[in-house]
Structure 1
Amino acid sequence: MKRSGILNRQLAGALAELGHGDGVLVCDAGMPIPDGPRVVDLSFRAGVPSFAEVLDGLIDELVIEGGTAADEVRDANPETARLLAGRVPGLSHVPHEELKRLTAGARLVVRTGEARPYANVLLRCGVFF
């Protein structure tokens, strides 16, 4: 049994399969999930687990070289906008409709129980060397 880190076996296994340049969408409970990417749904109840908890856990496990969030997060959810700006290197913003289109190219989707708007980010995996 693992001692620490991500204990969810589906998520831990999916993370181990990622490579440089792969996309990981971390999303709120309301984000439409496209057909194609592997999905690990962690949502339990509204707000559980939170977007911040899941994002922090993924950042601890992955090398992140960049990310993309919706422009709308800045006005509709400033707390999440600040969280993303402080934790995601190379963060860029696009209109929400464009972010939804970009998610089709993600390799993995991690759905949280977050119930605040625009708590979504498409992370781009880096490499540790």
Structure 2
Amino acid sequence: MKKAGILNRHLSGALAELGHGHGVLVCDVGMPIPSGPRVVDLAFRAGVPSFAEVLDGLLDELVVEGATAAYEVREANPEASALLDARFPGLELVAHDRLKELSAGARLAVRTGEARPYANVLLRCGVFF
């Protein structure tokens, strides 16, 4: 049995299958998830687990070379906006509709219980060497 890191077997296994350039959508409970990516749904109740908790847990285990979010987060969710800016200095911002289009190409979607708007980010996996 694992004693550290991501303990959810479905999520841990999905992360192990990712490679350079693969996309990972980390999203709030309201984001429409397209039929393409594998989905690991962690939502339990509104706000549980939070976007920040899940994002930070994923960043502990992934190499990320880029991130894309909706520019609407700036006004609608200042807390998520600040979190994204702190984690991704080169954050790319696009319209929310464009983020939804881009998420169709993701390899994995991780749905959180976050119930505040626009708490979504599309990560692009990098390599550790």
Q: Give distance in 1, aligned partners of 2:103 and 2:17.
A: 18
Equivalent in the alignment of 2:26: 26
Instruction: For residue 61 of structure 1, give the secondary structure of its aligned residue in structure 2.
Output: coil
Q: Give distance in 2, aligned partners of 1:86 and 1:126.
A: 19
Equivalent in the alignment of 1:110: 110
Gaps of at least 5 residues in structure 2 are: none
Equivalent in the alignment of 1:73: 73
Structure 1 residues 89, 10: closer, same or farther in 2, change over 3 A? farther
Runs of 4+ residues over 4 Å off in structure 1: none
Instruction: For residue 104 of structure 2, give the secondary structure of its aligned residue in structure 1.
Output: helix
Q: Deviations over 1:2-57 (max 9, x none)?
A: 11000000000000000000000000000000001100000000000000000000
Q: Give distance in 2, aligned partners of 1:60 and 1:43.
A: 20
Q: Give distance in 1, aligned partners of 2:88 and 2:40.
A: 21
Residue 91 of structure 1 deviates from its aligned partner by: 1.1
Paired AA for residue 53 in structure 1:
E
Gaps of at least 5 residues in structure 1 are: none
Instruction: For residue 39 of structure 1, give the secondary structure of its aligned residue in structure 2.
Output: strand
1:67, 1:89 within 8 Å by CA — same for their partners in 2?
Answer: no
User: When the two structures are superposed, what TM-score results if normalisation uses the length of structure 2?
Assistant: 0.99
Residue 90 of structure 1 deviates from its aligned partner by: 2.6
List aligned pairs for 1:54-73, cutoff 5 A: 54-73=54-73
Instruction: For residue 18 of structure 2, give the secondary structure of its aligned residue in structure 1.
Output: coil
The RMSD of aligned alpha carbons is 0.6
